[in-house]
């Protein structure tokens, strides 16, 4: 028992060391001619931005018959039991979450099998919010990506692409967020199949993300983007928050999905680390 406890303590220390190493290296990689330490992080020399919505009953989820809203109930209280504790239930694809490669494709990794090194990488933020104002069904094009690269440089391999569509402004109103028409079709922006294929085949990204319910635009019925991304063994982040607070480049993303054995995805804490200007 004593040896087991010691082993757990060592593992906690090791995990803490690895996490802080990631923080330091991500700050250091973007800070020229300086030495970054733990003090730099604690003193605020690195900005950390949370890209995750808190879980609650108002969270957006995929509007299909079998899906339900987030539920939470109290199991014990400090006043009556001396401890506060609760229980929750939720679909995997609710709120800020990750679609694992097995979500749309057979013989692909479940959420617990995604390699940790794939969940850390440079954040690439592409802003198409102005185009979405004129067309809520807008899809990111390869031309959009080319324009972004002309302004910001070539997208690095293993980057994580985040698409800022401006849809996050609707988050507090589920009906407006899913934007269903009279024929019960959803309307919101997404990636085009050609853009998804380009990012996988030409740039070998770790994954993609968006501030809407789906990487495929709302009226999609074949979910080509999901098939392309998941078919390449890569993940999708959906309902990502605070994308307007990130620059086009310079942030390091850390993604921590819930580890459901065999799961098709799940709620995910996402944060971005930026050096101070």
With vertex at residue 93, the alpha carbon angle to CA 103 and CA 126, rounded to the nearest 5 degrees, is: 85
Q: What is the DSSP letter of 116?
A: G
Q: How many domains does the chain have?
A: 2
Residue 36 clears pLDDT 50, i.e. is over it: no
CA dihedral of residues 228, 229, 230, 231 (deg, nearest 10): 40
Same domain, yes or no: 19 and 156:
no
Quick check: pTM over 0.85?
Answer: yes
Cα separation, 32 vs 50, whole angstroms: 24
By CB atoms closer than 10 A (0-12, 13-18, 19+), residue 242 is middle
Range of the domain at 7: 2-44
Mean pLDDT of 82-104: 98
Mean pLDDT of 186-198: 98
Helix, strand, coil percentages in the chain from 3-state DSSP, rounded to 5 = 35, 25, 40
Q: What is the DSSP letter of 155?
A: P
Contacts for 186 with CB less than 8 Å, ≥ 6 apart = 63, 178, 179, 180, 213, 218, 219
Same domain, yes or no: 181 and 128:
yes
Same domain, yes or no: 32 and 116:
no
* pLDDT given at position 43: 74
CATH number, position 141: 3.50.30.50
């Amino acid at each position: 028992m004593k040896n087991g406890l010691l082993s757990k303590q060592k593992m906690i220390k090791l995990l803490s060391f690895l996490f802080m190493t990631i923080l330091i290296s991500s700050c250091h990689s973007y800070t020229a001619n300086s030495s970054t330490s733990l003090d730099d992080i604690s003193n605020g020399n690195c900005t950390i931005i949370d890209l995750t919505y808190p879980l609650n009953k108002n969270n957006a989820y995929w509007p299909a018959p079998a899906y339900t809203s987030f539920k939470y109930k109290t199991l014990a209280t400090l006043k009556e039991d001396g401890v506060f504790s609760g229980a929750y239930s939720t679909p995997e694809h609710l709120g800020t979450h990750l679609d694992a490669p097995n979500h749309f494709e057979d013989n692909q990794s479940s959420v617990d099998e995604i390699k940790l090194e794939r969940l850390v990488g440079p954040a690439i933020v592409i802003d198409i919010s102005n185009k979405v104002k004129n067309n809520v069904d807008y899809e990111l094009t390869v031309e959009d990506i080319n324009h972004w690269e002309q302004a910001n440089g070539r997208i690095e391999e293993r980057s994580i692409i985040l698409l800022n569509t401006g849809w996050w402004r609707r988050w507090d109103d589920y009906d407006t967020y899913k934007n269903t028409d009279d024929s019960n079709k959803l309307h919101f922006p997404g990636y085009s199949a050609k853009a998804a294929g380009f990012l996988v085949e030409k740039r070998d990204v770790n994954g993609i993300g968006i501030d809407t319910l789906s990487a495929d635009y709302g009226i999609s019925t074949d979910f080509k983007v999901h098939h392309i991304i998941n078919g390449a063994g890569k993940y999708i982040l959906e309902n990502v928050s605070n994308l307007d607070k990130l620059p086009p480049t310079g942030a390091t993303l850390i993604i921590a999905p819930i580890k459901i054995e065999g799961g098709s995805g799940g709620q995910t804490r996402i944060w971005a680390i930026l050096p101070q200007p």
